[in-house]
Amino acid sequence: MREGDTLVFVEVRFRASSRFDTPAETVDIHKQRKLAAAEAHYLRHHPTKLACRFDVVAVSGNNHID
């Protein structure tokens, strides 16, 4: 995604329940390393002078209607 002069890598996490972890908590150090590797791979193939950042969209809850 691009926002102005920034290239934004977005990780979307969903958990129906936060009984064990919230969606944001699932982005642990191992997941962060995978995201950094994906960013590096992308930038090797698509060089840019834009600033880059990571965003995490964390959604929780069950939208099921009984």
How much is the pTM? Answer: 0.75
For residue 18, the tally of other CB atoms under 10 A from its CB is 13
- pLDDT at 8 (0 to 100): 97
Residue 29 in domain: yes
Tell whether 10 is covered by a domain.
yes
Residues 29-57 as b/e (b if ≥16 CB within 10 A, e otherwise) read: eeeeeebeeeeeeeeeeeeeeeeeeeebe
In a domain, 65, yes or no: no
> Tokens 């977005």 identify what position?
10
Amino acid at 24: A
Q: What is the pLDDT of residues 2-12, one digit of tens each?
A: 999 999 999 99
Q: Does any domain span residue 66?
A: no
What's the pLDDT score for residue 63? 57
For residue 52, give its domain range: 2-60
52-61 per-position pLDDT tens digit: 999 999 888 7
Confidence (pLDDT) at 17: 76
